[in-house]
Amino acid sequence: MIKDRMNLDKIKELNIIHLDMDAFYAAVEEKDDPLLRGYPVIVGSMSNSGVVTTANYEARKFGIHSAMPGFQARVRCPHGIYLRPRMNRYREVSEQIFSILHEYTEKVEKISVDEAYLDIKNVDINPIKTIEKIKKRVYREIGLTMSIGLSYNKFLAKLASDWNKPDGVTIIDRKSIDTILPPLEIKKVHGIGPKSEKRLNNIGIYTIRDLLQLEEDFLTDLLGKSGSEIYYRIRGEDNREIDTCRERKSIGVERTFHNDTSEIEVLKKHLKNFSYQLSEELIKKELHSRTITVKVKDEKFKSQTRSRTLSTHICDKDEIYEIGCDLLDEIEINKRIRLLGVSGSNLISRDLKQLSLFD
């Protein structure tokens, strides 16, 4: 059902969908055990040191949310039903949802188990009809609700899907951005993470309205390359394409030096720099890695690699650096090194990482 019909002047132009399942893990639990319906359901740790992965909308009325420590949740909602996550089941349901999405377009970008972008440019039917069909089918065949945003780019579609949760549909067209965007907090802008938010707050910038006053150059000086992207994004411009092969096997940073070196201290200095960059990439992509690999290539082009697989997934820069140093120490360096790299593989997304905190 369309809850929010905004000004639809150029409906054909609206061809990017962002969809996000409502209270996903908890909703799967309710689907599998309908007796849970109507009660506050919290999926997460049984132990005091664990965290909430999600709570259904009943439980959210008690102020419970993802990432909240389990003990705090129990204080706020002692009569809640606390369940351990069943990741395999969530993945299975997720696959069923995605196979329905793929029936509408092959241009599906999977962001996580319960979230995707769809490009419906080549779908012949009216975009609003398409949304209604997707929602209805997922509800009828799987029994779960989702919230959908429809717009003409990714940033706005994602903003829209979050607008009217749960079970909502929000459409943002060109005409509506002038009223929708200015009052929003800057953290709503894709690309403004906690660090950038703080930097902007420090100079008195809290809303998109404030942000709109800043020149592109100023934003680039302050936030680097993403400053320019943000400058256009808040004006409703975002050219990011739907990326259908987003699932990655590994992420790495490597470089060939101008001056080959065999000095371990110099190599470690580079390694530190690369580890920090790798950590930044992982955080940006909301990924954590369980296997860290260091690779070197010497002046005779001989490569050596060393890897370590950990018991938990990590993304912290100092942890990556520390493991990287151990791995580098294991490599026998008797020639000058021309290339050094560090990478993370065995990747999982943020939501799965959270589970390992209490398992």
Catalytic residue (choose from 30, 58, 109, 115): 115
Task: Specify the residue, 166 or 182, whose C-beta has the smaller distance to ligand TTP.
Answer: 166
165 binds, among ligand TTP, Mg ion, none (CB under 5 to 8 A by kind): ligand TTP
Task: Confirm or reject binding of residue 203 to ligand TTP (CB under 6 A).
Answer: no
Give CA–CA dist 12/22, Å, rounded.
Answer: 27
CB-CB contact of 91 with 113 (8 Å): yes
As a dihedral over the C-alpha atoms of residue 285, residue 289, residue 291, residue 294, rounded to 10 degrees, the angle is: 50
Q: Is 190 in the site for ligand TTP (CB under 6 A)?
A: no
Residue 287 in contact with ligand TTP, rule: CB under 6 A: no
Among 23, 42, 242, 323, the residue binding ligand TTP under the rule CB under 6 A is 23
Q: Does 30 bind Mg ion (CB under 5 A)?
A: no
Q: How far apart are CA 255 and CA 341, in angstroms?
A: 6
Orientation of helix 87-104 relative to helix 127-142, angle to 10°: 140
Tell me if 105 sits within 8 A of 122, measured CB to CB: yes
Question: In whole angstroms, how close is the CB of 66 to ligand TTP at the nearest point?
Answer: 4
- The verdict on 165 binding ligand TTP (CB under 6 A) reads yes
- Binding ligand TTP by CB under 6 A: which of 53, 94, 130, 196? 53
Q: Say if residues 31 and 25 touch (Cβ distance below 8 Å).
A: no
Q: Is 101 among the residues that bind Mg ion (CB under 5 A)? A: no
18, 20, 130, 144: residue in contact with Mg ion (rule CB under 5 A): 20
Residue 166 interacts with ligand TTP (CB under 6 A): yes or no:
yes
| 163 binding ligand TTP? (CB under 6 A) | no
Q: Minimal distance in Å, beta carbon 112 to ligand TTP? A: 6
Within 8 A by CB and 6+ apart from 307, the residues are 291, 292, 293, 294, 327
114 contacts Mg ion (rule: CB under 5 A): yes
Three-state SS at 110: strand
For the stretch 114-147, what's the b/e string if a residue is b when 16 or more beta carbons lie within 10 angstroms of its beta carbon? bbbbbbbeebeeebbebbbebbeebeeebebbbb
Per the annotation, the verdict on 286 as an active-site residue is no
- Distance CA(292)–CA(275), nearest Å, equals 10
Least Cβ distance, residue 65 to ligand TTP (angstroms): 8
Kindly state whether residue 21 participates in binding Mg ion, applying the rule CB under 5 A: yes
Nearer residue to ligand TTP within complex by CB, 87 or 214: 87
Q: How far apart are CA 75 and CA 59, in angstroms?
A: 12
**Which residues are catalytic, by number?**
115
Provide the binding-site residues for ligand TTP, judged by CB under 6 A.
Answer: 20-25, 53-54, 66-67, 114-115, 165-166, 351, 354
